[in-house]
Amino acid sequence: MEYFLQQLINGVTLGSIYGLIAIGYTMVYGIIGMINFAHGDIFMVGTFISLIVFMGLVALGITSVPLALLIVLIISMIVTASYGWTVERLAYRPLRGSFRLAPLITAIGMSIVLQNYIQVTQGARNRPLQPVITGGFQFFEDSEFVVNLSNMQILIIVTTVVLMIAFSLLISKTPLGRSQRACEQDSKMASLLGINVDRTISLTFVMGAALASVAGFMYLLYYGVIDFYIGFVVGIKAFTAAVLGGIGSLPGAMLGGLLIGLIETFWSAYFTIEYKDVAAFYMLALVLIFLPSGLLGRSEVEKV
């Protein structure tokens, strides 16, 4: 029981990171119906920006951990959001009226560009970060297996819940959210009604990139080591989470992220760790066979 509880905590923590990245995939798909395959590398850029800012603050002698975390998070979100905006302007807007395969190919090209850009500027070796947030709680100390809940895990889970609630309210209650939903239903009609479709799509990319930077920030703090290739691996799993939950659905993205995190963690704990990715993708295949629109997705209605 104690071992199961520990793996449950680990799985929810990992799934929260996947879920935040998956929201970026599902928001872009919901509006323009295309997958931003550079989104995983936007997450990777966010981790490196966080690390660079941390190193800069240490060099400046800023030792207050809460202040340093706040500064790093704000700068990382702003800079990473600018990368998301750039991807939209270069890889999607010029090709929006083209055939559907063209933007996907361009997005893959942007992904390769970002990978090589970070590899050239930051090197190919792993970049470590010393633990910043330490401590936590222990349960079942009298048993054979002690369950640990670290402060970092609490921060990741609470941050994810807060952001999920905030974005749900933003989509459902604000003028920007109404514009996004209108563009999702019919971008041409939204344009005729006075909605700036280009600006709405750009802001969607910016919001998705900002969420990816938060996920990258927490990934860096949680694991303490990054490299230029993590965007591909984590991005594919987050994309799997978005499809599993129902791409285009905000709650579905978070649910898919949690499921992928739990599957990966429990498979590593009770079976062989080498096949944890296979287990996650196998579950995705089963869902797509029996529920093609995902767990919370809606069947797409063809407009005539």
What sign for the dihedral angle of Cα 249, 27, 286, 279?
negative
Looking at residue 195, the DSSP 8-state letter turns out to be -
Residue of 28, 72, 26 whose CA lies nearest to 47: 72
Residue of 235, 268, 204 whose CA lies nearest to 18: 235
67-123 pLDDT, tens per residue? 999 999 999 999 999 999 998 888 888 887 777 778 788 888 999 999 999 999 998
CATH number among 1.10.3470, 1.20.58, 1.10.10, 1.25.10, domain 2-126+136-290: 1.10.3470
- Would you state the pLDDT for residue 304? 47
> Has residue 209 got a pLDDT over 60?
yes
> Has residue 300 got a pLDDT over 60?
no
Which two three-digit tokens encode residue 134? 């330490």
CA atoms within 13 A on the CB side of 14: 19
Measured CA to CA, the distance from residue 50 to residue 220 in angstroms comes to 8
pLDDT above 90 covers a percentage of the chain that reads 44
- Would you state the pLDDT for residue 301? 52
Residue 59 class from Cβ within 10 Å (0-12 exposed, 13-18 middle, 19+ buried)? exposed
Which two three-digit tokens encode residue 96? 């929006």
The SS3 assignment for 252 reads helix
Measured CA to CA, the distance from residue 133 to residue 13 in angstroms comes to 15
Measured CA to CA, the distance from residue 110 to residue 202 in angstroms comes to 16
Is this prediction's pTM over 0.85? yes
123-160 pLDDT, tens per residue? 889 999 988 888 888 888 777 888 899 999 999 999 99
- Would you state the pLDDT for residue 79? 95
Q: What is the DSSP string of 138-196?
A: EE-TTSSS-EEEEHHHHHHHHHHHHHHHHHHHHHHHSHHHHHHHHHHH-HHHHHHTT--
Residue of 137, 162, 132, 165 whose CA lies nearest to 9: 137
